[in-house]
C-alpha cells in the first residue's frame, strides 16, 4: 500500500519518500546571508523526501523580519550554494521558498518608508524588528504600474535559486504575506485589474507563477497556500470559491505541486474550506500540511487525499525524522524558546537516535 515511505516522482526529481520538511523561519542569517551553520542545519535533515527552506526574500522591499535570508544578491546566492552543496552531498533535494512580506513588515527595514501592500490597510498586531516588537503601520498601496516590477522580483529570485543550486522553488502565497494579501478581499480593496473579482485577486499570483515557471520550468515550481489561516489579520468572505479557483488556475499554469496549510497558525482545523475540492481541481501533486501524525499522514496518502505530507516542528527537533517515523521511535521535544534567532542551540544540536543512545 502507498504510504509516507513510498517513493514518488516530482517533476524531474525522484523522491525516496513522501515526507517533506516544511518551510520554517529561523532568523539566523545575519545580513540576510545563509551561513555554514545554515548549511549544517539543512544537511542534517537531508533524508527528507524534499526540504523546503525557510522563506527567502525576493528583494529588499520584501523583507519583514530580522535575520531572515534573501535570494536576490550574489552574496546570498553564494551563501545558499553552501546549503545546496551540503544537502546534495548528503543525498537530499531542496527547494527555496520565495517570500515577499508586503505589509507584514516595518519602516525600520525600509529606510523609514512604509512597506507596500495591495491596499493602504494597516494589519492589526506588531512587527518584529531589530529593536523588538513595534506596531504595524499603514502600508503604501502599490501603483498598478509597479506590479510588473514585483513579478520580476520573483522571476529574478527564481533565477538566483537556480544559480545557487536549488532543485526548485516554492512560491509563498500563504500566511498573510504579499501574495495572500492580494488573494483575500479583506486586505485587498483595489479597483484595478488586481482587485475585486476572484479572477482579479488571483491575477498577481498567476503572473508570479507564470513568470517563475517561464524562468526555471513549471516542473520545478510549487506554490503554498493557507486557505483557513487568519494569521497576520487576513480573511476572505468566500475562501472555498477563492481557493477552488486558485487550485484550478495553478493547474492550468502547470506548477508541480500545491502545498496546502490545512489548519490555522495555532494548528486548529476549520470547516470553512473542504480541501478535497482543491485536491480534485489541481492535477499536480497535493502536499498536505498541518499537525499530521504518521498514522494520519499514511491514511491520507492511502486514501488518495494527498500525495505528500510536510512536517514542520517535528523536523526542526528531529533531524532524522524519516527514520524515527519508520521505526516508530520516540521524538525529541522541540524547544520553542530557540525557534527564532540565536545560534547552534536549538538549531543544529538536536540529536539523532544514535546520538541519544
Ligand atoms: C513567522 O516568522 O512567524 C512566520 C514566517 C513565515 C510564515 C509564517 C510565520 O509563513
pLDDT in tens, 189-206: 999 999 999 999 999 999
Known catalytic residue: 154?
no
Question: Residue 116: which residues within 8 A CB-CB, separation 6 or more?
Answer: 61, 102, 103, 139, 140, 141, 142, 146, 178
Question: Residue 144: which residues within 8 A CB-CB, separation 6 or more?
Answer: 192, 193, 194
Of all protein residues, whose CA lies closest to atom 7 belonging to ligand 1?
Answer: 175
| Ligand 1 mutation pick, 57, 65, 227, 230, max ligand atoms within 8 A of CB | 65
User: Does the structure show a pLDDT above 90 at 11?
Assistant: yes
Q: What is the model's pLDDT at position 84?
A: 99
| CATH annotation of 8-317 | 3.20.20.70
Which residue bears the cell 504600474?
A: 145
Q: Which of 41, 42, 177, 286 is catalytic?
A: 177
Of all protein residues, whose CA lies closest to atom 5 belonging to ligand 1?
Answer: 25
Q: What is the model's pLDDT at position 165?
A: 99
Specify the pairing of strand 308-311 against strand 19-21. Answer: parallel
Report how far ligand 1's centroid is from the alpha carbon of 30 (Å). Answer: 17
pLDDT tens digits along 12-67: 999 999 999 999 999 999 999 999 999 999 999 999 999 999 999 999 999 999 99
For 317-335, what is the mean pLDDT? 98
User: Does the structure show a pLDDT above 90 at 279?
Assistant: yes
User: Does the structure show a pLDDT above 90 at 357?
Assistant: no
Of all protein residues, whose CA lies closest to atom 8 belonging to ligand 1?
Answer: 175
Measuring from each residue's beta carbon to the nearest atom of ligand 1, which residues come in under 6 Å?
25, 55, 65, 174-175
Q: What is the model's pLDDT at position 151?
A: 98
Nine-digit cell string for 7: 517513493
Helix axes of 74-89 and 36-44: crossing angle, nearest 10 degrees: 30
Would you tell me how many other CB atoms lie within 10 Å of the CB of residue 8?
A: 17
Taking the CA of residue 176 as reference, the ligand 1 atom at the shortest distance is: 10
Instruction: Give this prediction's pTM.
Output: 0.98
pLDDT tens digits along 104-152: 999 999 999 999 999 999 999 999 999 999 999 999 999 999 999 999 9
pLDDT tens digits along 213-252: 999 999 999 999 999 999 999 999 999 999 999 999 999 9
Contact between 270 and 223 (Cβ < 8 Å): no
Amino acid at each position: 500500500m502507498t504510504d509516507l515511505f513510498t517513493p514518488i516522482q516530482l517533476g524531474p526529481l525522484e523522491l525516496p519518500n513522501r515526507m517533506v520538511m516544511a518551510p520554517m523561519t529561523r532568523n539566523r542569517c545575519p545580513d540576510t546571508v545563509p551561513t555554514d551553520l545554515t548549511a549544517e542545519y539543512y544537511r542534517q535533515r537531508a533524508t527528507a523526501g524534499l526540504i523546503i527552506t525557510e522563506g527567502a526574500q525576493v528583494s529588499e522591499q520584501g523583507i519583514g523580519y530580522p535575520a531572515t535570508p534573501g535570494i536576490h544578491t550574489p552574496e546570498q546566492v553564494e551563501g545558499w550554494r553552501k546549503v545546496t552543496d551540503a544537502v546534495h552531498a548528503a543525498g537530499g533535494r531542496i527547494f527555496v521558498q520565495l517570500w515577499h512580506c508586503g505589509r507584514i513588515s516595518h519602516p525600520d527595514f525600509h529606510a523609514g518608508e512604509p512597506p507596500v501592500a495591495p491596499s493602504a490597510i494597516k494589519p492589526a498586531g506588531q512587527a518584529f524588528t531589530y529593536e523588538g516588537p513595534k506596531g504595524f503601520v499603514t502600508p503604501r498601496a502599490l501603483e498598478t504600474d509597479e506590479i510588473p516590477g514585483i513579478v520580476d522580483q520573483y522571476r529574478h529570485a527564481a533565477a538566483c535559486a537556480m544559480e545557487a543550486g536549488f532543485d526548485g522553488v516554492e512560491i509563498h502565497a500563504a500566511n498573510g504575506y504579499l501574495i495572500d494579501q492580494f488573494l483575500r478581499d479583506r486586505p485587498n480593496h483595489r479597483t484595478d485589474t488586481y482587485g475585486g473579482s476572484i479572477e482579479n485577486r488571483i491575477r498577481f499570483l498567476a503572473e508570479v507563477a507564470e513568470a517563475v515557471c517561464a524562468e526555471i520550468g513549471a516542473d520545478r515550481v510549487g506554490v503554498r497556500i493557507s486557505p483557513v489561516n487568519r494569521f497576520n489579520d487576513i480573511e476572505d468572505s468566500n475562501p472555498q470559491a477563492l481557493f477552488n479557483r486558485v487550485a484550478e488556475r495553478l493547474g492550468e499554469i502547470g506548477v508541480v505541486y500545491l502545498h496546502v496549510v490545512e489548519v490555522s497558525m495555532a494548528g486548529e482545523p476549520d470547516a470553512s474550506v473542504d480541501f478535497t475540492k482543491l485536491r480534485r481541481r489541481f492535477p499536480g501533486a497535493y502536499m498536505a500540511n498541518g499537525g499530521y501524525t504518521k498514522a494520519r499522514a499514511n491514511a491520507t496518502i492511502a486514501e488518495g487525499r494527498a500525495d505528500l505530507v510536510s512536517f514542520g516542528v517535528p523536523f526542526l527537533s528531529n533531524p532524522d525524522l524519516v527514520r524515527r517515523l519508520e521505526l516508530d521511535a520516540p521524538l525529541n521535544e522541540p524547544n520553542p524558546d530557540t525557534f527564532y534567532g540565536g545560534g547552534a542551540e536549538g538549531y543544529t544540536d538536536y540529536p539523532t537516535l544514535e546520538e541519544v543512545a
